[in-house]
Amino acid sequence: AKIFKLSVLDLRIWVHLGCSDQEKFNPQLVSFNIDLNFQAPPVGVINDNLEDTVCYSRLVKNIKNFCRDKKFNLVEHLTAEIYKVVNESLQQNRSLVTSINVTTHKISPPVPDIHGGVTFTYCAAPFKKE
């Protein structure tokens, strides 16, 4: 079987994230992994044109802009919101993408004895904006 996947790995952003006001006061470093799975190779594979694939630079900029000045209680909610940002960033390439996979890694949660952080993954097919 052939696999066509674009991955953005370890996108690190400081985010106000936590259940208590004290935890949200200082931003925490989170890392995002984003996979876009394609049903067929994007045309950019053949013609080498940026317009014919997903621009991951624009995707990253949209995620950073979304996270700026927002506060989140839960890593689950943050992940679902980033999924929506990714979906909206696909624009004309949405029909090629069979699934979007977003994993958020809260690198240093303030919980004793957790040494590898906490992750939450949201994976779904892209949705059409109504």
pLDDT recorded at residue 81: 98
Q: What share of the chain is helix, strand, coil (3-state, %, to 5)?
A: 35, 35, 30
Range 101-106 average pLDDT: 98
Range 18-47 average pLDDT: 91
Kindly report each contact of residues 15-20 with a partner whose C-beta sits within 8 Å and lies 24 or more positions away, as own/partner: 15/67, 15/70, 15/72, 15/78, 16/70, 16/71, 16/72, 17/71, 17/72, 17/73, 17/75, 17/78, 17/106, 18/73, 18/110, 19/73, 19/74
pLDDT recorded at residue 129: 64
For residues 89 and 66, is the Cβ–Cβ distance under 8 A? no
User: Is residue 130 over pLDDT 70?
Assistant: no
Mind listing the pLDDT tens digit for each residue in 46-103? 999 988 888 999 999 999 999 998 999 999 999 999 999 999 998 766 778 999 999 9
Longest CA span, the chain: 52
User: Is residue 124 over pLDDT 80?
Assistant: yes
For residues 19 and 74, is the Cβ–Cβ distance under 8 A? yes
Range 8-16 average pLDDT: 97
